[in-house]
Amino acid sequence: IATPTECTMWYVIKPVQVSIDVRQSRATVYDFLDVMANHECFTDHALTDWTCTGPDRGVGSKARVTARTAGRSDTIEIEVIAAEPPAKIVEQNIGAKGRRVASGTYLLEDLPSGGTHIAFEYAWQHAPLSERLAAPFARATVKRINENAMRRLADRLTQLNNATTSNPSASS
């Protein structure tokens, strides 16, 4: 006889984790990620039509975006729900007309040789039946999008660093 856990595990989508190492300090990376509007430049390959509301940074900052994947589009509401400077930012996002609730968590760690290890985890709390049934595809798609976003984030941080180095008065 199957236990309740065995009977219900088929519809739980496992979290997706991606990471990248960058040369910038943890404080610099945190300061960049803390501003919700800054996320557009490294996620606009999948998230478009950005509208930010609430405070510019920190808990309560919000964005409304359109996710475009697999030929479909969906409106996503993103809100920062927790922050522990300079190490952690947690976002909650709601999509699929409220049927998908997920969290995105950035964890920042100092690297022994300098720089920062950026880890990002996307975890579903609730998902529509169609996503649960296609969990391997959903996970692969989210992983590919988030890996690309991490590369783009690293590139953007490098561009900002280079701009600041060549012009100390430059800002993001």
- Two structure tokens written together for 70: 């697999």
Three-class secondary structure of residue 129 per DSSP: helix
Three-class secondary structure of residue 87 per DSSP: coil
- Provide the pLDDT for residue 46: 94
Closest C-alpha to 22, from 168, 158, 122, 147: 158
Distance CA 20, CA 107 (A): 11
- Two structure tokens written together for 93: 């996002």
Half-sphere exposure for 37 (CA within 13 Å, toward CB): 8
Sole residue written with tokens 């997706």: 16
Closest C-alpha to 154, from 110, 119, 103: 119
pLDDT in tens, the chain (172 residues): 444 444 444 567 899 999 999 999 999 999 999 999 999 999 999 999 999 999 999 999 999 999 987 778 999 999 999 999 999 999 999 999 999 999 999 999 999 999 999 999 999 999 888 888 888 898 999 999 999 999 999 999 999 888 877 666 655 4
Asked if residues 116 and 98 have their Cβ atoms less than 8 Å apart, the reply is no
Residue 170 CB-density burial (10 A; 0-12 exposed, 13-18 middle, 19+ buried): exposed
Pairing of strands 47-53, 116-126: unpaired
